[in-house]
Amino acid sequence: MQRLRVAVDATPLFGPRTGVAAFTLGALQALAARPDLDLSAYGLTWRGRGRLPEHLPPGVSPVRGLMAAQPLRQLWRRWDGPVIEHWTGDVDVVHGTNSVVPPTRAAGQVVTVHDLTPERFPELVQRASLAFPGLLRRALARGAWVHTVSSFVAAEVVDRLGADPDRVVTVPQGVPPVGPAPPGAGARLARCERYVLALGTVEPRKDHPALVRAFDAVAAARPGVNLVLAGPDGWGTEALSAALDRARHRSRVVRLGFVGEAERAALLRDASVFAFPSRYEGFGLPPLEAMSVGVPVIATSVGSLPEVLGDAALFVPPGDDDALAEAIVRALDDDDLRARLVVAGRDRAGRYSWERCGAGLAELYRRAASS
């Protein structure tokens, strides 16, 4: 079989670890291991110029040349140029890994849509992300294929953006392995042997204030439990600060900010419960990571989460502080429930394989190239 030349957008690898970055790195690693692909990567970043090679896994060739994200995206919103081959040379397919795929001279175009937050909930995103729906619609008009990591997002792309359902393909991503950690390292960071963990960037969509309120409602009856919020500040953090100021048990809420990979692994492995009170999700990677190391998960029944987590999580309605508080109590105190969630969670996380993700993407690339 002739090797397919594919150029992949590695821009998400610059900056803090996010779910999109985890997808991009895992996909690149899986694709680089395939003998049927000739893989290169480009970076839409001016500030990160010259640093692309250090972010790429073995087997992926960096594209040389400067690409400034903001001016190029402004051009691509209005015109089908400049084409990506100006930087990559001739390729068979270009894959935009985060809602933006450049126009091409002849290559097939694939764009990954992780969620439609800018379209559905524009009040929950930063201003720069508001350009994504327009860029997606322009790409669809050029005939781009859409990759989604959940069937939920695939249906939204068809319903809200008018995409041809025959050109929208769901290929779930894998779950990155959680690294090893010394015994008790997570508990030391949490300042407590038992703790409820929330992991992710602080932003309105993740609804950390609801978790603070729910924990505060049950903390008095469980003096040996802390709440740990780990992740960098994104935007809209004022609501979280206000919730913390009002919390009676503020001293038992540990706000760690950004944590490195070793700390992240330690926190996940030692957590008693993982809480994910998101208001909208296109996949749901952090709860799957928690499941993979045997931590019971509480999640909201929104977006893709019921599809992705199945029967392996304890679900609550979004924005219902009382239901979230009750779920925290059950997940901490009900040993039979905890045991069931641990077994079901490990099984659920094990279904998401990077090898299968790479195989599904490679098949999509061939369809895009031939069309």
DSSP assignment of 243-264: HHHH-TTGGGEEEEES--HHHH
Same domain, 345 and 357: no
Q: Domain of 336: which CATH number?
A: 3.40.50.2000
Domain assignment of residue 48, yes or no: yes
Domain assignment of residue 202, yes or no: yes
Same domain, 359 and 342: no
Same domain, 68 and 150: yes
Same domain, 364 and 338: no
Range of the domain at 86: 4-174+353-370
CA distances from 257 to 17, 107, 211, 308 (A): 13, 42, 16, 27
- Cα distance between residue 137 and residue 346, in whole Å: 38
- Cα distance between residue 137 and residue 156, in whole Å: 13
Domain assignment of residue 107, yes or no: yes
Same domain, 95 and 144: yes
Domain assignment of residue 179, yes or no: no
Residue ranges in the chain whose pLDDT is less than 70: 1
**Per-state percent for the chain, helix, strand, coil, to nearest 5:** 45, 15, 35
Q: What is the pLDDT of residue 115?
A: 96
Same domain, 170 and 193: no
Domain assignment of residue 180, yes or no: no
Same domain, 87 and 200: no
CA distances from 275 to 246, 314, 332 (A): 20, 10, 12
Q: What is the pLDDT of residue 226?
A: 98
Same domain, 116 and 194: no
DSSP-derived 3-state class of residue 41: strand
Q: What is the pLDDT of residue 22?
A: 95
Contacts of 70 (CB under 8 A, 6+ apart): none
Q: What is the pLDDT of residue 89?
A: 95
Q: What is the pLDDT of residue 237?
A: 93
Q: Strands 108-113 and 93-96: what pairing?
A: parallel
- The amino acid that residue 214 corresponds to is A
Counting Cβ atoms within 10 Å, is residue 27 exposed (0-12), middle (13-18) or buried (19+)? Answer: buried
Same domain, 283 and 302: yes
Domain assignment of residue 154, yes or no: yes
CA distances from 82 to 46, 87, 128 (A): 16, 10, 21
- Tally of domains in the chain: 2
Domain assignment of residue 167, yes or no: yes
Same domain, 101 and 215: no
Same domain, 202 and 230: yes
Q: What is the pLDDT of residue 1?
A: 65
Same domain, 246 and 166: no
Domain assignment of residue 90, yes or no: yes
